[in-house]
């Protein structure tokens, strides 16, 4: 049955029947079709319309995010030239609704909640799966563009790797797993900008090689239960809890050093878990487990890149201009946490900065 709704000026969201109903398309003057399906439908000869096909499964771990930029461009180009666009998948509920929400978010600077609410007012059945909702949220945190250097993007891809590598198909051969891992390098370009923002460096105690920085640390609340990216991103409430935790120093576990995925770590992956050796002197400095590991506070961290405090030295970064950093903050901000617009990591990082200041001051 034909089902499509006008969700914004010149933009329709509908199901597969809508995309096949040429009479209706003509009547609505729709000239552009964005198809988001797991197979390419054959529309037959239709010289009137321009079709963009995006191959996508309606599965939580499917990476629709990587298609956002090209989809936005397709819709935006058509709309700017006064053409009418139909975005559709099978039911017009999850995949195409995600693309439509992304379009509204970027066009009107909306959060994913606002975009979904606006969509639902115009098409009641809109219901992206949880994975897609997380990707929309991530898109918001990346300022409406694909930013491969964003730490949450790396966590997102790492979570997908983890699912592919471990959960998805246990019968996958070791060789195929290695191919998956190699493919994964593309998702993790080296973040050169990061260096200039670094405040604390963590070095191998033995050979003094810098292994990671404060920007790579991941934090969790102490206690039982699971901490992973999917839970963190897919549940708004959970995210709020993590933020609340970051606001109060005593609520963030200080016991162990866990990092997010590091650029040089792919070289050490050979199985689901194993030792992390220093990239230079090969001393054992930690352990990793894609499945996860229990922190001494009892929290399950997944995936876990765990460095042993006894093997790591902590230093103020050389490029740290303390004066400049202090100037950036008002006195009131020095020992409190500022809630900024997109605070997911910023809060946590500021908390660390405050700690380091205290340490430095007391050392003087
Ligand atoms: Zn070393
Ligand atoms: Zn802990």
- Are 231 and 322 part of one and the same domain? yes
User: Is 281 one of the catalytic residues?
Assistant: no
| Tokens coding 267 | 């070289």
Say if strands 200-204 and 226-228 run parallel, antiparallel, or are unpaired.
unpaired
Q: Could you tell me if 109 and 117 are in contact, meaning their C-beta atoms sit under 8 angstroms apart?
A: no
Task: Give one word for 332, left, alpha or beta, with left for phi > 0 and alpha for psi -120 to 50.
Answer: alpha
Considering every ligand atom shown, identify the ligand nearest to the alpha carbon of residue 281 and give its number: 1
Q: What is the pLDDT of residue 302?
A: 77
Instruction: Compute, in angstroms, the gap from residue 199 CA to the centroid of ligand 2.
Output: 22
Q: Report yes or no on 19 lying in a domain.
A: yes
Write down how long the chain is.
364
Domain count, the chain: 2
Domain final residue, candidates 121, 137, 153:
137
Q: Does the CA dihedral 317-323-329-333 come out positive or negative? A: positive
pLDDT at 329: 42
Ligand 1 centre to CA of 201 (Å) is: 14
Q: How far is the CA of 228 from the centre of ligand 2 (A)?
A: 13
Q: Do 124 and 206 have their domain in common? A: no
In a domain, 165, yes or no: no
- Tell whether 149 is covered by a domain: no
Domain membership of residue 122 (yes or no) is yes
If asked whether residues 128 and 11 sit together in one domain, one would say yes
Tell me, yes or no, whether 347 lies in a domain.
no
Ligand 1 centroid from CA 313, angstroms = 11
For helices 151-162 and 174-184, angle between their N-to-C axes, nearest 10 degrees: 170
How far from 348 is each of 118, 134, 231, 253, 318, CA to CA, in Å? Answer: 31, 20, 18, 12, 21
Ordered per-residue pLDDT tens for the chain, 364 residues: 889 999 999 999 999 999 999 999 999 999 999 999 999 888 666 778 999 999 999 988 889 999 999 999 999 999 999 999 999 999 999 999 999 999 999 999 999 999 999 999 999 999 999 889 989 999 998 999 998 877 778 778 777 776 666 554 556 566 666 666 566 555 555 444 444 566 788 999 999 999 998 878 887 777 766 555 544 444 434 544 554 454 445 567 888 899 877 878 766 666 678 899 998 999 999 998 877 888 888 888 877 899 999 999 998 876 545 444 444 444 443 333 333 444 343 333 333 333 444 343 443 3
CA of 82 to the centre of ligand 2 (A): 55
Are residues 243 and 344 in contact, defined by beta-carbon separation less than 8 angstroms?
yes
32 with 133, same domain: the answer is yes
* CA 270 – ligand 1 centroid, Å: 20
Pair 88, 33: CB distance under 8 Å: yes
Q: Which ligand is nearest to the CA of 264?
A: 1
Distance 224 CA to ligand 2 centre (A): 9
- The pTM of this model reads 0.62
**Shared-domain flag, residues 13 and 77:** yes
Question: Do residues 211 and 90 both lie within one domain?
Answer: no
Query: Is the same domain home to 241 and 131?
Result: no
Q: Is residue 285 part of a domain?
A: yes
Q: Are residues 197 and 317 in the same domain?
A: yes
Within this chain, do residues 49 and 129 fall inside the same structural domain, yes or no?
Answer: yes
User: 12: buried, middle or exposed (CB in 10 Å: 19+, 13-18, 0-12)?
Assistant: buried
Which segments within the chain are labelled E, that is strand? Answer: 4-8, 11-14, 30-37, 50-55, 84-88, 200-204, 210-213, 226-228, 257-258, 273-277, 284-289, 293-294, 300-302, 304-307, 312-316
Q: Render the burial of 215-236: b for 16+ CB within 10 Å, e for the rest.
A: bbbbbbbbeeeebbbbbbbbee
pLDDT recorded at residue 197: 61
Distance 88 CA to ligand 1 centre (A): 53
Q: Is residue 351 part of a domain?
A: no
| Contact (CB, 8 A) for 199 and 316 | yes
Cα separation of 264 and 8, whole Å? 45
**Residue tagged 């499917």 (tokens):** 62
Q: Which one of the ligands is nearest to 286 CA?
A: 1
Residue-level pLDDT at 158: 73
Closest ligand to 252 CA?
A: 2
State the ligand closest to the CA atom of 220: 2
Strand order in the sheet with 210-213: 210-213, 200-204, 312-316
39 located within any domain = yes
CATH code for the domain of 35: 3.90.190.10
Q: Structural domain of residue 270, as residue ranges?
A: 189-328
Q: Do 204 and 319 sit in the same domain of this protein?
A: yes
Round to whole Å and give the CA distance between 31 and 19.
11
Tokens of 15: 């199901």
Same domain, 19 and 80: yes
Selecting among 71, 89, 253, 295, the annotated active-site residue is 89
């Amino acid at each position: 049955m034909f089902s499509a709704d006008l969700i914004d000026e010149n933009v329709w969201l509908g199901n597969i029947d809508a995309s096949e109903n040429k009479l209706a398309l003509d009547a609505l003057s729709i000239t552009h079709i964005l198809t988001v399906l797991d197979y390419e439908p054959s529309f037959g000869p239709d010289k009137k319309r321009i079709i963009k096909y995006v191959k996508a499964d309606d599965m939580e771990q499917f990476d629709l995010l990587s298609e956002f930029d090209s989809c936005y461009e397709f819709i935006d180009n058509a709309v700017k030239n006064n053409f009418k666009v139909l975005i559709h998948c099978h039911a017009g509920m999850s995949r195409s609704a995600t693309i439509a929400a992304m379009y509204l978010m970027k066009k009107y600077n909306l959060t994913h909640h606002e975009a979904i609410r606006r969509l639902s007012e115009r098409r009641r059945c809109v219901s992206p799966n949880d994975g897609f909702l997380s990707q929309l949220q991530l898109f918001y945190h990346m300022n409406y563009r694909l930013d491969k250097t964003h730490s949450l993007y790396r966590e997102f891809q790492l979570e997908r790797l983890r699912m592919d590598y471990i959960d998805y198909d246990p019968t996958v051969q070791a060789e195929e797993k290695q191919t998956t891992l190699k493919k994964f390098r593309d998702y993790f370009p080296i973040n050169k900008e990061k260096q200039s923002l670094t405040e604390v460096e963590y070095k191998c105690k033995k050979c003094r090689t810098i292994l990671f920085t404060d920007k790579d640390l991941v934090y969790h609340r102490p206690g039982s239960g699971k901490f992973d990216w999917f839970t963190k991103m897919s549940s708004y409430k959970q995210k709020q809890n993590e933020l609340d935790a970051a606001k109060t120093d005593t609520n963030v576990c200080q016991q162990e050093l866990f990092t997010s995925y590091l650029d040089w770590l792919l070289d050490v992956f050979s199985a689901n878990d194993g030792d992390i050796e220093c990239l230079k002197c090969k001393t054992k400095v930690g352990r990793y487990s894609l499945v996860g590991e229990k922190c001494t506070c009892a929290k399950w961290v997944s995936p876990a890149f765990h460095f042993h405090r006894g093997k790591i030295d902590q230093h103020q970064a050389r490029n740290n201009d303390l004066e400049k950093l202090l100037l950036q903050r008002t006195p009131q901000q020095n020992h409190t946490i500022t809630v900024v617009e997109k605070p997911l990591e910023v809060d946590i990082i500021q908390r660390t900065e405050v700690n380091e200041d205290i340490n430095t001051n007391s050392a003087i």
